[in-house]
Amino acid sequence: MSGETATMDEPGQWRQALLVYGLLWSLGLYLRLTVLVVPPLIPQLKAVLGFTSGEVAIATSLPLVTLAVGGLAAGWLLARVGVLPGMLLGLAVMAGGSALRSLPEGFLAMMAATVIMGVGIAFMQAAMPVLAKLWSPGRVGRASAVYTNGLLLGELLAAGATGPLVAIWLGEQWQWAFALWVVPVPLLMLALLAGSRRLPNTGRGSSSAGLVLPDRHDGRMWRLVTLLGAAAALYFTGNVFLPALLEESGRLALLSPSLTALNGAQVLSSMLLVLYADRLMGQHRSLVAITALALLALPLMLWLPGRHVVWAAGLFGFFTSALFIFVLALPAWLVRVEALPRLMGGMLFFGYLLVFVITVVGGGLYDLSGIVALAFLPTLMIALVAMANTRRLLASRQAEA
C-alpha cells in the first residue's frame, strides 16, 4: 500500500519540482540581465554621452555597490515583510530603475537610475538562496544551479541580443533598450504570486524585526567575501574590459561573438552543474581547480591571435560560471535557514563593495597605462586569496555539524 502511495505521489512531486525550478529559473533571469545591457552599448556611451573607460566601468559595476548596501537592508526586509513580499518588491524596484535609465542623457542621471535598479537586485539576490533552501531543502546545489542558469541566460540575452536590437530596431533611440528588457517583469510577478500558493510556506515577516548587522567576527563570512569577490570580479572584468581588449588589437568586430561565447559557455556550465552541483559541493580540490582554470583563461583571451579570442572567452565563461554557482550555493549549504539572511547580508555587503573597488581600480589602471592587461591585475590578486581560503571555508560546516 505504501509503495502504491509513493507511486501516486510521484507525478505530484514532479509537478512541484518543475514549478520550483521554473520559478527559481525565471527569477534568476533578472538578477543580472539589466546590469549586462551596458557592455554592448559601450560604443554609444562613449560616442554619444562621452563616457570614459573609467566611467563605463562605474556604470557597469555601480549596481555592485547598491547590491552591497542593499544587502544589509535585505536581511532586515526579509525578516520584516517575509521572503515572498521582499522578492516582489525587489522585482518592482529593479524593473523601475532599469526603465528610468532610458530617460536620462547624462552620467549622473544614469547613475541615479542605476542605484535604484541595484537596490531592487539586492533584495532579489538576498531572497534567492532562502527560497532555494525553503523550496528545495535536499537539493540546494541543484536549486542554486537552476536559478544561476537563469541568471546566466539573462546575461547572455543582454550581452548577445542588445547590440542587434539597437542596430536593427532602435537605432538612434538606443537608450530605450534599458526599458524594453523589463517589460515582462509584471507577468513574472503574477506568476510568482500564483505559483507560491502551491509551494511550502516561505514564512511571514515580523513588524518587530530590526536591522541585524553582519557578524564581523565570523571567519566564514570573510572567506565567502573573498570567494564572491573573485567570482564576481572575474565575471565583471571579463565583460567590461573585453571590448577594450578587442579594440586595442583591432578586432572590435569580434565583440558580439566574443561576448556571446563568454556568456553562452556560462549557460552550458550551469546546465551541467544542475546535474553535478550537489555531488561536488564541499570538495576543496574541485573549487580550487575551477578558480585556477578561470584564471588561466585570462592570458589566453589577452594573447591569442585572431578569432581564437572567441574560444578563449568561452573557456573563461565556462569556469567563471562554475565558480559563481558554488559561491551562490555555499551560504545555504553552510548554515541553517535562520542564519542565512545575516550571512548573505554580510557576504553581499562586503563582497560586492570589494568587487566594485576591484573593477574601478582595474579601469583606472587601464586609463593610466593604456595597457588592458593591467585591468585584470586586482582580480588576479583576490582570486589567489580566495583559493588560499577555500579549505577552511568548507571545513567550517563540518566543524559546526
What is the structure's pLDDT at 211?
55
Task: Return the HEC string of the chain.
Answer: CHHHHHHHHHHHHHHHHHHHHHHHHHHHHCCCCCCCCCHHHHHHHHHCCCCCHHHHHHHHHHHHHHHHHHHHHHHHHHHHHCHHHHHHHHHHHHHHHHHHCCCCCCHHHHHHHHHHHHHHHHHHHHHHHHHHHHHCCCCHHHHHHHHHHHHHHHHHHHHHHHHHHHHHHHHHHHHHHHHHCCCCHHHHHHHHHHHHCCCCCCCCCCCCCCCCCCCCCCHHHHHHHHHHHHHHHHHHHHHHHHHHHHHHCCCHHHHHHHHHHHHHHHHHHHHHHHHHHHHHCCCHHHHHHHHHHHHHHHHHHHHCCCCHHHHHHHHHHHHHHHHHHHHHHHHHHHCCHHHHHHHHHHHHHHHHHHHHHHHHHHHHHHHHHCCHHHHHHHHHHHHHHHHHHHHHHHHHHHHHC
What is the structure's pLDDT at 323?
93
Distances (CA, A) of 371 to 79, 183, 222, 316: 47, 39, 32, 20
Contact 306, 284 (CB under 8 A): no
Residue 21, domain member (yes or no): yes
Residue 224, domain member (yes or no): yes
Residue 295, domain member (yes or no): yes
What's the rounded Cα separation, in Å, for the pair 216 and 222? 8
Residue 244, domain member (yes or no): yes
Residue 199, domain member (yes or no): no
Residue 205, domain member (yes or no): no
Residue 5, domain member (yes or no): no
What's the rounded Cα separation, in Å, for the pair 84 and 80? 11
What is the structure's pLDDT at 3?
44
Residue 201, domain member (yes or no): no
What's the rounded Cα separation, in Å, for the pair 64 and 360? 11
CATH number of the structural domain spanning residue 266? 1.20.1250.20
Question: Whole-structure pTM over 0.75, yes or no?
Answer: yes
Q: Look up the domain containing 149 and give its range.
A: 11-192+213-400
Going by C-alpha positions, the residue among 181, 93, 91 that lies closest to residue 127 is: 91
CA 187 to chain centre: 22
Give the count of domains, the chain: 1
pLDDT tens, the chain, 401 aa long: 444 344 435 666 788 888 999 999 999 999 988 888 877 887 777 766 667 766 776 776 677 677 778 777 877 787 778 888 889 999 999 999 999 988 866 777 888 888 899 889 988 988 898 888 888 888 888 999 999 899 878 877 887 788 888 888 887 778 888 899 999 999 999 999 998 888 766 655 444 445 567 888 888 999 999 999 999 889 878 877 888 878 877 788 888 788 778 877 888 898 999 888 888 888 889 899 999 999 988 888 878 877 888 898 899 989 998 998 999 889 988 888 878 878 888 888 888 888 888 888 988 888 888 888 888 899 999 999 999 999 999 988 844 43
Query: With the CA atoms of 89, 192, 65 and 34 taken in that order, what torsion angle do they form, in degrees rounded to the nearest 10?
Result: -110
In terms of Cβ atoms closer than 10 Å to its own Cβ (0-12, 13-18, 19+), residue 264 is: buried
